[in-house]
Amino acid sequence: MKRFSQELQQMLTEQKGYRNEEYSGSGITDPEKVLTFEIYELGNTDISEFFQKHYGFDYPCIIEQLEEGRVTEEEIKVKVKRIISYISRKMGAKTLYCLWLATREGIRENYVDAEDTVTEYNLSRINYMPICDLGDQGALFILDRHPNLIPHREIFLEREEELSVVSLI
């Protein structure tokens, strides 16, 4: 089994992740929509490869088909539903959400300007599962709660200043 990147391991250890909503804030948190978009529209093979390496899913054929452009959106949706069903069983949750998060350093290097605010998510009181690991560019997490219901706060990274506590649930 391949190890997680240093950045994903850091997020798992600290149980915190960061996100710049202005950069990547589509507002879509439905795993089926996000995964279908990532895999089919963007050709992201990292999700399938991550599942193959870390959770034992065998998708070499779909990865090859994606790389060669020989797969339909419907075929991807079938694979995505199987992935979501697996995660749902593993997490014991019927309703799932997803969110791209990165480390503080990853956000600083890739997604913000000095004056931008970021959202810091505290993952310590929720169930979650990483499903893609892009190192310093972030990781895609499946969550058992909507991101609005996860403790989070808006901060300025460069000034280490908290804007406000948004949620203490």
Q: pLDDT tens per residue, the chain (169 residues)?
A: 468 999 999 999 999 999 987 776 678 899 999 999 988 888 888 888 898 888 877 665 666 777 777 788 888 898 889 889 999 999 999 999 999 999 999 998 988 877 788 999 999 999 999 999 999 999 999 999 999 999 999 988 766 555 554 444 4
Q: Where are the domains of the chain?
A: 6-167
Report the predicted TM-score, pTM, of the whole model to 2 decimal places.
0.87
What pLDDT does residue 88 have? 95
Task: Count CB atoms within 10 A of the CB of residue 86.
Answer: 15
Tell me, what's the pLDDT at 71?
Answer: 81
